[in-house]
Amino acid sequence: MRTITVLGATGSIGQNTIDVICRHPDKFRVFAITGHTNLNALVQLALQCSPRYIVLSDPQAYTAFAKILKKENCHSEILVGAQALDDVCCAPEVDTVMSAIVGAAGLLPTLAAVRTGKRVLLANKESLVMSGELFMNAVREHKAELVPIDSEHNAIFQCLPHDFEYGNLEKSGITKILLTGSGGPFRTLADESFDSITPDQACDHPTWTMGRKISVDSATMMNKGLEFIEAKWLFGLHEDDIEVVLHPQSTIHSMVQYVDGSIIAQLGNPDMRTSIAYGLSFPDRITSGVEAVDFSSLTDFSFSKPDQNRYPNLYLAIEACKQGQAATTAINAANEVAVDAFLKGQIKFTDIAKVNQHVLQKTDFIELTCIVQVLEHDAEARILAQQIVRKLN
Ligand code: NAD
Ligand code: MG
């Protein structure tokens, strides 16, 4: 029996996680769920999985939330605030933490889970992008078990040999990691239409259903850039080991290429419950609610290279990856500010890359040796990004 805390339970990944967990009451129990907004969804989830604790990140929501819980006759205990987020990750009863808060807000609770040696199911790619080496050092030091949930990295994890040694591609005869991406909703949009893209258009992803921030990141392909950095740290890769391949159907979720010419791919329908189920049950397999691919219904199966002019954010993120930790922390922060401003209608879709590029150019290449420095650097990059947003607005 695994006992699980689900960070960001009200989100797309969080709700899919509860869905998979509830399919296997003999294997999993929920210790805590956490949510930031959308209190009604939090109540519904609590009724579905009966957690011992529910954590609200906003203490002001306590009274209203307690009233709804009472009315629904739900007996979970309510905790509030940042410390409570850490506490439900570190509790000795918990062996597995799903890290599914969006953005930099996920870093500290995820690290708390890592530092108490839990199995960490990592959906929150931003925490690894922000703190890569420090994060991976903490994983090793505290013997945490890190299982990637991002579909591409989960695919790579499945395609690597079981005895893969971190960073040692040569030993396993690996020549390349092929990171696939759909190219998002604007892969074939005329160049002159990019300035008038609306938030709802950007969030209407052709193959995946996701939260709004990652949907915009997928449309700009910053998501693939963040995943490039994520892959580097998860598997100990060099930038030259990774190639991004456009694959609009999202059937192949990524591939590993071997020295003998073999390429091993992981395929499946675009539904995150496959990765989530594998993370929960690894090394075993359990049902996830996802149907297998029906090959007779695949009418198209295509691949191409991502165009630099169409997807400047992808290339900015790769550049940041080559520059190092200060650059990836800064571009992640800039991107969060820019995407938020775009979703609020303050800047244009094409301004996101302008904000990211400007912040990257202004970043000092300092060494970040502890998490406090990472957070300070993140905060500075946000201030700079907000200044640019105000100018563009
Ligand atoms: P979402 O927006 O649907 O949900 C985000 C969750 O985080 C919600 O529960 C929200 O309440 C919580 N949250 C937001 N701000 C918070 C804060 N300041 N403090 C505490 N909690 C906060 O997002 P999502 O699509 O589920 O994505 C979650 C993470 O998983 C992201 O890092 C994303 O990149 C990653 N991911 C998502 C998918 C997907 O298919 N949705 C795929 C791969 C990776
Ligand atoms: Mg992904």
**Residues 242, 247, 251: CA angle, nearest 5 degrees:** 105
Atom 9 in ligand 1: which residue has the minimum CA distance? Answer: 8
Please give the pLDDT value at position 63: 92
Q: For the chain, what's the residue count?
A: 393
Hunting for tokens 């991107």 — which residue is that? 335
Please give the pLDDT value at position 364: 84
Atom 21 in ligand 1: which residue has the minimum CA distance? Answer: 36
Question: Cis bond leading into 109, ω under 30°?
Answer: no
DSSP per residue over 167-236, as a string?
A: T-TGGGTEEEEEEEE---TTTT--GGGGGG--HHHHT--SS----HHHHHHHHHTHHHHHHHHHHHHHHT
Domains in the chain, please, with CATH? 2-148 (3.40.50.720), 165-269+292-297 (no CATH), 324-392 (1.10.1740.10)
What ipTM was reported for this prediction? 0.99
Nearest to 6 by CA among 92, 75, 77, 94: 94
Whether the predicted model's global pTM rises above the 0.95 cut:
yes
Q: Is 257 in the pocket of ligand 1 (CB under 6 A)?
A: no
Please give the pLDDT value at position 37: 84
Please give the pLDDT value at position 96: 98
Q: Which ligand is nearest to the CA of 153?
A: 2
The answer on whether 34 is annotated among ligand-binding residues is no
Alpha-carbon torsion angle 351, 354, 355, 359, nearest 10: 180
The Cα–Cα gap between 183 and 125 comes to: 18
Question: 5, 10, 13: which to mutate for ligand 1, most atoms within 8 A of CB?
Answer: 13
SS3 293: coil
Query: What parts of the chain have a pLDDT lower than 50?
Result: none
Neighbour order of strands in the sheet with 145-148: 77-80, 53-56, 28-35, 2-7, 96-99, 119-122, 145-148
Distance of CA 36 to the CA centre of its chain: 17
